[in-house]
């Protein structure tokens, strides 16, 4: 049985605009981020969804709750969809990080890809044959797609805020 996964990146946040490395901080949607989530809500309002999942970080949960409104579904939260832990880079201005040596406390790509694989298995096993919308973050969503397509992460195009991609898992 094929499960349809609509993978969504959260709406724009204050730190996206400020170019701050958010990592696993909660994040706050901007007015534009709320509008982006409402656009996804409106576009998906006539698509039957059986479940809505989100990272347990506020920016993803808030996006998912907006999208869930016409479906009458509660949002299931999971740490599997959390953004990459950027360790010592968290809270820093992204343009200033170019060329810097990565600190040892950044989540490894291997761990990130492992979480992505666990997330795919979780959706496949928990919602077989269902339509599931999941709101995550830029890097973890990229990892989910890399695992799904059997590609390296740099081969997966960047997702924009509130972009939706469909995977049949």
Q: Is 137 annotated as catalytic?
A: no
Q: Given the residues 10, 12, 107, 137, select the one marked as catalytic.
A: 10
Q: Given the residues 12, 83, 107, 137, select the one marked as catalytic.
A: 83
Q: Is 46 annotated as catalytic?
A: no
Other beta carbons less than 10 A from residue 68's beta carbon: 20
Q: How far apart are CA 154 and CA 142, in angstroms?
A: 9
Q: How far apart are CA 107 and CA 164, in angstroms?
A: 25
> Closest Cα to residue 27, out of 43, 38, 16?
16
Active site residues: 10, 83
């Amino acid at each position: 049985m094929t499960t349809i996964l609509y993978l969504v990146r959260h709406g724009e946040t204050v730190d996206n605009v400020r170019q701050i490395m958010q990592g696993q901080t909660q994040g706050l949607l901007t007015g534009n981020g709320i509008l982006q989530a409402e656009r996804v809500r409106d576009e998906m309002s006539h698509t039957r969804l059986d479940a809505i999942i989100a990272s347990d970080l506020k920016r993803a949960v808030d996006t998912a709750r907006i999208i869930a409104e016409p479906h009458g579904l509660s949002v299931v939260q999971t740490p599997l969809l959390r953004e990459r832990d950027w360790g010592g880079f968290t809270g820093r201005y992204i343009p200033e990080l170019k060329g810097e040596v990565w600190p040892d406390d950044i989540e490894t790509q291997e761990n990130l890809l492992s979480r992505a694989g666990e997330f795919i298995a979780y959706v496949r096993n928990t919602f077989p044959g269902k339509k599931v919308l999941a709101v995550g973050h830029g890097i973890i969503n990229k990892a989910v797609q890399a695992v799904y397509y059997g590609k390296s992460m740099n081969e997966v195009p960047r997702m924009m805020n509130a972009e939706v991609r469909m995977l049949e898992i």
